[in-house]
Amino acid sequence: MTKWVYSFGGGKAEGRADMKNLLGGKGANLAEMSNLGIPVPPGFTISTEVCTYYYANGETYPQTLKDEVMAALSQVEEDIGLKFGSTADPLLVSVRSGARASMPGMMDTILNLGLNDKSVEGLAKRSNDARFAYDSYRRFIQMYSNVVLGVDHHNFEEILDEVKEDKGVSLDTDLDAADLKKVVAKYKDKVAEQLGKPFPQDVHEQLWGAVGAVFGSWMNQRAITYRRLHDIPAEWGTAVNVQSMVFGNMGSDCSTGVCFTRNPSTGENEFYGEFLVNAQGEDVVAGIRTPQQLTLAGKNAQSSDLPAMEECMPEVFKELNAIRHKLEAHYKDMQDMEFTVQQNRLWMLQTRTGKRTTKAALKIAVDMAREGLITRKDAIKRIDPASLDQLLHPTLDPKAPRKILGRGLPASPGAASGKVVFSAEEAEDWVNNRKEKVILVRIETSPEDIGGMHVSEGILTTRGGMTSHAAVVARGMGTPCVAGAGEIRVDYAAKTIKVAGQVVKEGDIITLDGSTGEVFIGAVATIQPELTGDFGTLMEWVDTIRTLKVRANAETPLDAATARKFGAEGIGLCRTEHMFFDPKRIIAMREMILAETEKGRRAALAKLLPFQRQDFIELFEIMQGLPVTIRLLDPPLHEFLPNSEAEIAEVAKEAGVEPAVVKARNTALHENNPMLGHRGCRLGITYPEIYEMQARAIFEAAVHVSRETGRTVVPEIMIPLVGAKKELDLMKACIDKEAEAVFAEQKYSVKYMVGTMIELPRAALLAGEIAKTGEFFSFGTNDLTQTTFGMSRDDSGPFLEVYRAKGIYEHDPFASLDQAGVGELIRIAAERGRATRAGLKLGICGEHGGDPASIHFCQGAGLDYVSCSPYRVPIARLAAAQAALGGSSSSGTA
Ligand code: PEP
Ligand code: MG
């Protein structure tokens, strides 16, 4: 026969901490504390299976439930020496929800249950405080009527206000027992008037009403939404905890509070908490009275005048501190506890794993491993990789004053201040010539803005989402970005931004918080990230565990240096096209595109060669012999040509041609689907001279650095968008020829590899063939996702939202790898590729390379490395270590 009810209290319990699925988090921990001999007000938990039964059987209960509840209730009465419904010694209970995962504030709670016209007198006598008794009763009527009977709060608020007004007072505390008796009478009349029947006096009816309301609240809209946002399945159900009430508001020898076994904001191993004398739990949370500190150290740190518990309740404090040590040693993690002291007697009401800042999480994990409480592996598993982001960028000083201007999406983390400019050219001018710090404000950005974006401290756009150009580029550069701040109006002509009557002009200072999406007027002080200390220690441990290598996507010297600082073990993707947007180079690039003949193109490419060579020399030098994967030109050529009349005229002038020529070339290059058009190796097939120049620049740079430094430099040259072996054959032949020529000229040679990106489904399926030529594969999962789904990475944002809301795809497949579809292609390609070429080196360089769930997948698929933007390198290192340790990884799309 199924057991539905589990008792706890009096130093024993039927449940345990590891029964969370059955008893919910709260119930399981109450049981565990009881078993540990910690004082817990006696009570019982109605299991989550009852909730499941309730919904599966037309909102009815299992047959034996009533008897089990009655037996458990008698046990509580015996343990505490009070009687439910008694006039003399009434037992009052709280009825609370408790799901497997914490869902704060989402479901219903009822306190002081068991009060009626008779038992209230008993409570008055027992507490020797009629005011307290009637105040408890009126609170109970209000809560119960609202939660269980559906009578709106405002009915009760109005009555309370009336009584206060009649008496000529403004505070609840100015009402005495007689006044509160009046309030109770009026409350009951109101309930009868609203419902056509009296407020229930039968305490058992009250109890079952409350239990039903808690189960019912599992399906309220708030809870449903919360579950959807936090991936909590509806089948889990909630438990119901019925527990004897203890009172922290029965006099000056009573109190209530919350505490943590360690400081949750710094992680310091110090007892941390607050309490209020003569108060109920909700008073601490409501923040009406200033709470007192538990410890003297806390009191001094806060410069508080109020006595610490350590001073004013020393015995209770000693007991609480002992419980703190006991619980932390038992759970082996920082605990967040709630307690109540009733007439100098301490009762623990809750313990759970405490929430903490990322900084505290690192300190606690490292300290606990050093203390021997947990292993280093446990410490690694405890840190959420994504949370490290908070530590890697400057953040706003929490103490600094600030004035909000507006809000957008938190597109790229970190905080920055600077003077407002409205174009990329101005940004470069202000930074390079005036030595100013700027924030680039645009409606949206485009590839042409790269230079200005690079020099800006932060980027603010009013249009576009998390994968807009501004967001992706800013994340890559580690520049704070707030995107899609729709309430902010940008006027390029007037050079102003306006929000709700506030105007900011060009040159005014603003501050962005790219971690929250907030924009502030003026400069707000920031704090620099700390990469040593606990962070450094944990990262050292991480590197001893992981088997996946972590590289970075980087093309500028700054990106490469940042990547090294964050521990990258090479460059997994250098997108060479980003090197052509520099003002000095774009001219030659456009000349090449505008050229009519191969000869003309070669002449323009010859101008680009020295720039490219110098780029690669710098990259090889910074990477000091670590592998560098260089991808040859990928995007469609029209991306390098201007659009506006003014720019077209300018380019025509530079190139010495008529504007009509530029326009004609623009028209000729126009494509309906540029992402599926003339790009990737298709450029190299049609214009081999482009790839020849790039290959030459790479070899000349490699020879130079190898000769100068004596270090081995092994460039990995990567061909984009390959779909057929023949494409790769042709491109490899062209590269090999260039290598031979350079090595002969220089009388010096280096080793090199030629490989391919796998970013088309055809390439994945024919990987066995392609691996005959390709010496390594790198999965370009941005394009592979786009081509597998047949869904543009630039245009899918708006409808993907709808798809996710309708549950068609659980995650954005461009952010977290679609393991079922795209992942299957990766598995196939890895297997077929390695069947042809044993030990074929496999990596991933799409945005997914920095996503923890995708990294788990890469570990399972047998990849050698992941490559991600420099600022994600530490996140990837930690995620890779967690993947090596096994355990859960969220499952990706679909
Ligand atoms: C990819 O497609 O995943 C990739 C890394 O290349 P890009 O984003 O430059 O197209
Ligand atoms: Mg690509």
| Helix (H/G/I), strand (E/B), else coil: 337 | strand
Q: Name the least confident of 348-352, 402-406, 583-587.
A: 583-587
Task: Identify the pLDDT of residue 144.
Answer: 96
Alpha-carbon gap, residue 393 to 566, rounded angstroms: 12
CATH number of domain containing 432: 3.50.30.10
Any domain includes 378: no
Residues 517 and 557 reside in one and the same domain: no
Non-local CB neighbours of 738 within 8 Å, separated by 6+ positions: 692, 695, 696, 699
Task: Identify the pLDDT of residue 49.
Answer: 96
List C-alpha distances in Å: 556 to 513, 582, 852: 25, 11, 25
Portion of the chain with pLDDT greater than 70, in percent: 98
Q: Among the three residues 303, 333, 356, which one is the final residue of a domain in this structure?
A: 356
Amino acid found at 883: A
Nearest in space to 419 (alpha carbons), one of 310, 497, 362: 497
Beta strands in 83-212 (DSSP E): 83-84, 90-91, 93-99, 109-113
Q: Name the least confident of 231-245, 382-396, 778-792.
A: 382-396
Task: Identify the pLDDT of residue 402.
Answer: 93
- Residue with CA nearest ligand 1 atom 8: 782
Any domain includes 565: yes
First to last CA, the chain: 38
Pick 491 or 810 by higher pLDDT: 491
Residue 889 has pLDDT above 60, yes or no: no
Residues 459 and 515 reside in one and the same domain: yes
Residues 501 and 560 reside in one and the same domain: no
Task: Identify the pLDDT of residue 644.
Answer: 82
Residue 887 has pLDDT above 70, yes or no: no
Contact (CB, 8 A) for 428 and 451: yes
Which of the 8 DSSP states describes residue 356? -
Residues in binding site for Mg(2+): 759, 783
Residue 111, token pair as written in the block: 């306190």
Residue 794 has pLDDT above 90, yes or no: no
Task: Identify the pLDDT of residue 890.
Answer: 38
Residues 306 and 429 reside in one and the same domain: no
Residues 298 and 319 reside in one and the same domain: yes
Any domain includes 666: no
Task: Report, as an integer, the average pLDDT of 571-586.
Answer: 89
Task: Identify the pLDDT of residue 220.
Answer: 86
Task: Identify the pLDDT of residue 893.
Answer: 33
CATH number of domain containing 205: 3.30.1490.20
Residues 757 and 801 reside in one and the same domain: yes
Residue 192 has pLDDT above 50, yes or no: yes
Q: pLDDT (tens digit, 9 = 90+) per residue, 458-467?
A: 999 998 776 6
Task: Identify the pLDDT of residue 193.
Answer: 95
Domain count, the chain: 4
Q: pLDDT (tens digit, 9 = 90+) per residue, 732-754?
A: 999 999 999 999 999 999 999 99
User: What is the pLDDT of the chain when averaged over all its residues?
Assistant: 92
Residue 364, token pair as written in the block: 């606690």
Residue 722 has pLDDT above 60, yes or no: yes
Domain membership of residue 306 as a residue range = 255-356
- Report the DSSP beta bridge partners of residue 761: none
Task: Identify the pLDDT of residue 601.
Answer: 96
CATH number of domain containing 305: 3.30.470.20
Task: Identify the pLDDT of residue 467.
Answer: 60
Residue 717 has pLDDT above 80, yes or no: yes
Q: Ligand 1 centre from 449 Cα, in Å? A: 19
Task: Identify the pLDDT of residue 119.
Answer: 96
Portion of the chain with pLDDT greater than 90, in percent: 77
Any domain includes 615: yes
Nearest atom of ligand 1 to the alpha carbon of 720: 6
Q: Among the three residues 356, 375, 402, which one is the final residue of a domain in this structure?
A: 356
Task: Report, as an integer, the average pLDDT of 588-610.
Answer: 94
Nearest in space to 150 (alpha carbons), one of 103, 197, 203: 197
Query: Model-level pTM?
Result: 0.82
Contact (CB, 8 A) for 244 and 277: no
- Residue with CA nearest ligand 1 atom 9: 575
Alpha-carbon gap, residue 40 to 875, rounded angstroms: 41
Alpha-carbon gap, residue 723 to 729, rounded angstroms: 12
CATH number of domain containing 595: 3.20.20.60
Q: Is the CB of 52 under 6 A from ligand 1?
A: no
Residues in binding site: 575, 631, 759, 780-783
Contact (CB, 8 A) for 514 and 414: yes
Alpha-carbon gap, residue 263 to 259, rounded angstroms: 9
Cα 56 → chain centroid: 35
No. of H helices and E strands in the chain?
Answer: 35, 34
Q: Is the CB of 577 under 6 A from ligand 1?
A: no
Task: Identify the pLDDT of residue 894.
Answer: 33
Task: Report, as an integer, the average pLDDT of 183-195.
Answer: 96
Sign (positive/negative) of CA torsion 714, 574, 814, 769?
negative
Residues 595 and 555 reside in one and the same domain: yes
Task: Identify the pLDDT of residue 411.
Answer: 83
Any domain includes 644: no
Any domain includes 69: yes
Residues 399 and 523 reside in one and the same domain: yes
**811 catalytically annotated:** no
Task: Identify the pLDDT of residue 309.
Answer: 96
Residues 407 and 475 reside in one and the same domain: yes
Task: Report, as an integer, the average pLDDT of 477-499.
Answer: 91
Task: Report, as an integer, the average pLDDT of 195-206.
Answer: 96
Residue 506, token pair as written in the block: 């060009």
Task: Identify the pLDDT of residue 891.
Answer: 34
User: How buried is 683 (Cβ within 10 angstroms: 0-12 exposed, 13-18 middle, 19+ buried)?
Assistant: buried
Which uninterrupted H or E stretch holds 822?
helix 822-836
Any domain includes 536: no
Residues 145 and 24 reside in one and the same domain: yes
| Helix (H/G/I), strand (E/B), else coil: 569 | coil
- Residue with CA nearest ligand 1 atom 6: 780
Any domain includes 645: no
Task: Identify the pLDDT of residue 578.
Answer: 83
Task: Identify the pLDDT of residue 73.
Answer: 97
Nearest in space to 98 (alpha carbons), one of 15, 191, 36, 181: 15
Residues 124 and 42 reside in one and the same domain: yes
Q: pLDDT (tens digit, 9 = 90+) per residue, 210-252?
A: 999 999 999 988 888 888 877 788 889 999 999 999 999 888 8
Non-local CB neighbours of 64 within 8 Å, separated by 6+ positions: 1, 4
Nearest atom of ligand 1 to the alpha carbon of 778: 5
Residues 516 and 556 reside in one and the same domain: no
Cα-trace Rg, the chain: 34
Amino acid found at 845: C
Q: Which of 51, 845, 858, 868 is catalytic?
A: 845
Task: Identify the pLDDT of residue 285.
Answer: 58
Q: Among the three residues 214, 244, 274, which one is the final residue of a domain in this structure?
A: 244
Task: Identify the pLDDT of residue 724.
Answer: 98
Q: pLDDT (tens digit, 9 = 90+) per residue, 253-305?
A: 999 999 999 998 889 999 999 999 988 876 665 556 778 999 999 999 888 88
List C-alpha distances in Å: 471 to 113, 281, 413, 536, 784: 53, 43, 10, 28, 20
Task: Report, as an integer, the average pLDDT of 754-783.
Answer: 98
**469 catalytically annotated:** yes
